Homo-oligomer: A and B are copies of this chain.
């Protein structure tokens, strides 16, 4: 009778919220938004199912709540690198920083890209939280490199799209085909991607 007693630990509202968000990210990223059940999230968070709906009105609100904080957080780190002056050096720092962030939050990024296809809220969060600010940060660097004659005068958006593709796919590929992913460290990957993106596959002297 007293078998299935939940031990009710005392936690602040904020701590409970975090427990739920943490569990939600795990369950969402393992099963997708539709494949995840609120019952399973509650189980993993160590709360009753009803508790979830005391903190988040709907399942969808829980999804956006999972994505938003990390999206915002992802911007803060950037400003520190602004001081670097050489366009090439700036890029290497920036790339390494981005890859680390994506490595640490691989679950979240995979979830974000999968669900962006189906939920306009997610697309808008990506646009306003990542793409927009990211462009604002990197466009001046790009223009400066062209003005200095260091970069080719390539169109900005397509170039950034290629860059994002390389960076994003690093994380996705590693998850989908771990046995095909030889690199041990993020640094190795960053060096390799930077070399390709800046100087290409073809040898300079050929």
Contact = CB atoms under 8 A, between A and B. Distances in A.
Interface stretch (A8-16, A60-68, A114-122): A114-122
Main secondary structure of the interface of A (DSSP, over half): helix
Contacts of A151: 201-203
Contacts of A88: 202
A136 B114 CA distance: 29
A36 to B, nearest CB: 9
A158 B94 CA distance: 19
A162 B169 contact: yes
Nearest to A174: B161
Given A168-B165, A169-B162, A173-B164, A192 B34 contact: no
Interface string A162-177: 1011111110110111
Interface residues of A, number: 59
A34 B32 CA distance: 8
A127 B170 CA distance: 16
A110 interface: yes
Interface string A103-144: 000000010011011100001001100010000000000000
A193 interface: yes
A118 B173 CA distance: 14
B118 A31 contact: yes
